[in-house]
A = this chain, B = another copy of it.
Amino acid sequence: MTEAIQTDIGKYRITQEPFYLQTGNETGMFEAACAERLPVMLKGPTGCGKTRFVEYMAYRLGRPLITVACHEDLFASDLIGRYLLRNDETVWEDGPLTRAVRMGAICYLDEVVEARRDTTVVIHPLTDNRRTLSIDKKGEVIPAHRDFLLVISYNPGYQSVLKDLKQSTRQRFVAMTFDYPEADRETDIVAHEGDVDRETAGKLVALAGKIRNIREHGLTEGASTRLLIYAARLIRQNIPVHEACRSAICLPLTDDARLQETLGDLIDDIF
């Protein structure tokens, strides 16, 4: 391993333990997959902690973590790298996936179905017994570092027919499902990250619970834990509770006026 890569690793190492509360045996499953070098797929709704979990595991396993948020205009070359012109010289520059493959990092492809289809082709040989990355433009095939681990995330509530993981891709991953944390645990999180007392945090979690229950009435997704923390922090800044909840929880969720009224009533019920 070259010196440059050694330096690079430092940049991707997570040095502070991320705050994460375990909800099941997810760490054990992740460590088993990691030990067997099996690629991992995290399924779950927005803001339930998938990204945080990966950061936590990277910290716990002492591995560098390289995250790529995928989107409709992400090409394979954005992952692998490309030739650049630098002062009249053509220089190859590794993309984030190639860097991860070389240094043995965890590579986390967030919302992978959003990416263009040529990316799936790139990850296939990395997710079967070959464990290689083909850089066609350099005519190079790189064997993955033995510590390299591919993790992808995926929100099943979202997927349309057009944007779905193909079976030939899905069947390359060990899958783990995530959901909102239980009320008690979520209260801990909100109190800790929002810096409010446990009572206020508990009420915010109760509000979220009610909102998540009315999901079928027109909300495409429930309120994430993140929004509860936002509300808590506004309250800490002396914004009145009702106003804080409306701005941080209700208004971001929907543009529907009637639903906003229902959500407002829920706030009144609880506070």
Measured CB to CB, the residues of A under 8 A from B are 11, 25, 28-29, 31-33, 35-36, 38, 41, 43, 46-47, 51, 67-76, 78, 83-90, 93-96, 99, 110-111, 114, 116-118, 120-122, 124-125, 128-129, 134, 136, 139, 141, 155-156, 158-159, 166-168, 170-177, 193, 220-221, 223-224, 226-227, 230, 233-234, 236-239, 243, 247-248, 251-253, 255
Within the complex, what minimum Cβ distance (angstroms) separates A196 from chain B?
Answer: 12
How many copies of this chain sit in the oligomeric assembly?
A: 6
**A69: contacting residue among B121, B173, B221, CB under 8 A:** B121
Residue numbers in B under 8 Å from A68 (CB-CB) = 136
> Would A167 and B220 count as touching, CB distance under 8 A?
yes
Name A's interface SS.
mixed
**A223: contacting residue among B67, B136, B171, B252, CB under 8 A:** B171
> Would B76 and A73 count as touching, CB distance under 8 A?
yes
Residue of A110, A141, A252 most packed against chain B (CB within 10 A): A252
User: A114 with B111: in contact, given A88-B87, A124-B69, A239-B28 (CB under 8 Å)?
Assistant: no
